[in-house]
Structure 1
Amino acid sequence: MSRTERARLAAVVFVVLFTQLLVYPGVDRLVETLGGAPTIDAGTAFLGVQLLAFVLFSAVWGAVSDRAGRRVPFIVLGAIGGTASYLALIAAVVLGVGDFRLALVLRFVEGAFTIGAFSLAITMLMDLDGGHGKNMGAAGIAIGLGAALGAPIGGQLYEISALAPLVASASLLALVAVLVATLPDRTPTDTDDLRRILDGLRHRPELLLPFGFGFADRFTGGFFGIVGTFYFRDSFGLSPGETGLALACFFAPFALLQYPFGSLSDRIGRVVPIVAGSVGYGLAIIGVALAPTFLSAAVVLVIAGVLGALIAPATMALVTDMAGPGERGAAMGGFNIFGSLGFLGGILVGGGIASRFGFFEAFAVAAALEIGIVLVALPVLVRVVPDPTSTFGTPE
């Protein structure tokens, strides 16, 4: 297996997350430019509609790819479709065509395409040898770096123009299409058809464990994306550029520690990183809301990022452990459905609670969910993995 393949696939994952996070720090300004009101509700709608598309199309891309026995053409198609959607958003503003409703439709279309590139790039990483934790660590560090750099760079791009993040997103996704087009397709040849895959997943209820943890973790990601942005802007008077740097306090350690923590889970198993990380992460979330100053909030965000990095690669590796080679596309599609539902829930629920009850209440709900999933899932997790240091498959 070529290290170049792993790096190029990780680059796809990076670009999709990077472009997604570019718009967050100044989403109120972008929404206003697209014809909406610069409110938390309009921002929630714009961010949420993309996640809705993620939910609806994630498993579709995975199942179709498994059935076709190909990954690369679908990744290229997803990247090209995302590029076209971003360009259409820009054209709508420049030409004065449509209103905010058209922007929401185009954002949905963009999400439907880019989730294909994102999900299938992770699936191709699952297909590689070299150790499940290591491969998922590569995916995790790409996710974390995309989010870590997307927020601060997006904030700086907003200082140039409200449309600058969209221009950057279109350009990068076009580059991804070129980058991936020449990759060898290493899709397993023994993939099942869609009916057998779904039957197999129904007979693997243990997959609900990593799916549930993925839901909770992505919930907090969506939560920080919308609530964190408005919280730092309103509570500490930060500009979009400064807000992007604040979000990077979480995403930078989250990114840098993904790969080593993924490799760690190959050695010590998935249970301890997932359980310990989730409990600590939930406590850190509420700690952000209790921090009296921006500096103290930033320190807690760094701690939260470290704990989040402990959870994410172990959770994705657990999906790989449990799914057979011919089921991985559908399994990762299912994982991304739960994850996208979590991200969407974090945006909708977090934004709704913050706008109607207050920021502290929203942080409390996010923290309770992260800790609560451990309390509910731990008894089942212990039964499924009686030895906390074991994995379902040996590193390849």
Structure 2
Amino acid sequence: MSRTRSRVALAAVVYAVLLAQVLLYPGIDTLVGRLGADTALDASTWFLAAEFGAFVVFAVPWGMASDAAGRRVPFVAAGALLGAVGYVLLAVVPVATGSFPLALGLRVFQGAATVGAFSLSMTMLMDLEGSHGRNMGATGIAIGLGTATGAPLGGALYELGPLVPLYVASGVLLLVALGALFVVDRAPAGGERGSPFASLRRTPTLTLPYAFGFVDRLTAGFFSLVGTLYFRTVFELSPAATGLTLALFFAPFALLQYPFGVVSDRIGRTIPIVAGSALYGVAVIGVGAASELRIAQAGMVVVGVLGALMAPATLALVTDLAAAMERGVAMAGFNIAGSLGFLTGIVVGGVAADTYGYGTAFLLVGGLECVLAAVTLPVFLRLSVERTDYA
């Protein structure tokens, strides 16, 4: 399989995993109610947090096992298959028992499985030879398209019933498990079991993409919960309309990542990451300050464009800095940082919105992006990895 075909195939795997995940977001409040929850905001917060808590805990074991075995494909297929089982159990068991705590436990199992397919398919894109920006741009397109199509599709599926997105997510992951078996495995030969912490000790500059991965995913977690409820309550949108509004962010975020990844190969990582993050933070604040729906929706488009500018450069920086034999744990470390960020965005964003209102919550999250960009700029200016003009 050629490098280009492998890039497309692996991007399709990442896309499918994200699609399955995001299908649940537009009507998350109705879903948790069907699973036995008594509240909307609190229960939605814990339901999303359970999955990403599992992401944090289980990303490292998947990465360590893959690096040690010198294989990726069997682990991707196994993670996807177990994730498919997890989604089906979520649709069946809590409804039969009426136990929301049981639903949270099954959500942890589903997240622990899904992170294996997600993290290691991204690692397989790191294993491809050639331009890091192109490879990570393909990853970004897959992530963006998965979320862009998942949001409106999920909203439409909720119109058919609150459990329908769970069954569709299970089917999507089953296809991932089957499709992954036909992808060429380019993992380096197996080595010693490492860890993201050991990689950080050897390569401290990995803290840069990890920090930005944390904050960028924090905003994603914030939008998945607070953003969804913001549009549902403040502008009184239906789940379907909310999904379409979220897609205003995800569509440009997806479509522009590959060209912006190529740009980062030419001009370096600093401008896309630092300048992009600062402007991104301002745009997030603008969405929360909007007084009219159309203005908020226009702001979502701007947020999507700026997110596409910085995301592939941040992922490519992980590849630039990580040793070849440690790519699995390096990407696991990045996904741990991202999952912690997503979890923080859900919990802190939910608490801030509930306590101080949506405007303050948006200001808090957007301001954090601006502060990180300002604090890390001197470090980026001293960073030796600036341009990677790969074919």
Which ranges in structure 2 are unaligned for 5 or more consecutive residues? none
**Is the alpha carbon distance of 1:33 and 1:2 closer, same or farther for their aligned partners in structure 2, counting shifts above 3 Å?**
same
CA displacement at 1:266 relative to structure 2? 0.8
- 1:69 pairs with 2:70: yes
Distance 2:197 2:341 in 1: 22
Which ranges in structure 1 are unaligned for 5 or more consecutive residues? none
Distance 1:165 1:257 in 2: 27
Distance 2:184 2:300 in 1: 39
Per-residue CA shift, 1:250-286, capped at 9, x if unaligned? 1111011011101111111111111111011000001
Structure 1 stretch displaced more, 316-325 or 191-200: 191-200
**TM-score normalized by structure 1?**
0.96
CA displacement at 1:225 relative to structure 2? 0.3
Query: After superposition, where does 1:179-198 map in structure 2 within 5 Å?
Result: 179-189=179-189, 191-195=190-194, 198=197
- Which residue matches 1:335? 334
Per-residue CA shift, 1:329-360, capped at 9, x if unaligned? 11111000001111111001101111122111
- 1:309 pairs with 2:308: yes
Distance 1:225 1:266 in 2: 30
Distance 1:195 1:206 in 2: 17
Distance 1:313 1:20 in 2: 20
SS in 2 for 1:25: coil
CA displacement at 1:18 relative to structure 2? 1.0
1:13–1:122: 8 Å Cα contact kept in structure 2? yes
**Is the alpha carbon distance of 1:381 and 1:29 closer, same or farther for their aligned partners in structure 2, counting shifts above 3 Å?**
same
2:287–2:296: 8 Å Cα contact kept in structure 1? yes
Per-residue CA shift, 1:59-114, capped at 9, x if unaligned? 221111000111000000000000000111112155x1251011001111100000
Structure 1 stretch displaced more, 313-322 or 35-44: 35-44
- 1:27 pairs with 2:22: no
- 1:227 pairs with 2:226: yes
Per-residue CA shift, 1:40-70, capped at 9, x if unaligned? 1110000111000011111221111000111
Distance 2:255 2:269 in 1: 19
Distance 2:315 2:212 in 1: 10
1:29–1:38: 8 Å Cα contact kept in structure 2? no
- Which residue matches 2:201? 202
2:287–2:300: 8 Å Cα contact kept in structure 1? yes
* Paired residue total: 390
Query: After superposition, where does 1:289-300 map in structure 2 within 5 Å?
Result: 289-300=288-299
Identical positions, percent:
54
Structure 1 moving runs of 4+ over 6 Å? none
- Which residue matches 1:125? 125
SS in 1 for 2:223: helix
- Which residue matches 2:56? 55
CA displacement at 1:195 relative to structure 2? 4.2
CA displacement at 1:129 relative to structure 2? 1.4
CA displacement at 1:201 relative to structure 2? 3.0
- 1:395 pairs with 2:390: yes
Per-residue CA shift, 1:194-232, capped at 9, x if unaligned? 248753431211000010011110000000000001100
Distance 1:275 1:299 in 2: 23
- Which residue matches 1:143? 143
1:62–1:330: 8 Å Cα contact kept in structure 2? yes
Distance 2:375 2:343 in 1: 21
Letter paired with 1:26: G
SS in 2 for 1:208: helix
Distance 1:98 1:31 in 2: 11
Distance 2:195 2:351 in 1: 40
1:157–1:164: 8 Å Cα contact kept in structure 2? yes
2:64–2:195: 8 Å Cα contact kept in structure 1? no
Distance 1:37 1:369 in 2: 32
Letter paired with 1:174: L
Query: After superposition, where does 1:162-181 map in structure 2 within 5 Å?
Result: 162-181=162-181
2:14–2:139: 8 Å Cα contact kept in structure 1? yes
Per-residue CA shift, 1:145-202, capped at 9, x if unaligned? 011111111011000000010011000000011101122211112x541248753431
Distance 1:201 1:350 in 2: 28
**TM-score normalized by structure 2?**
0.97
- Which residue matches 1:279? 278
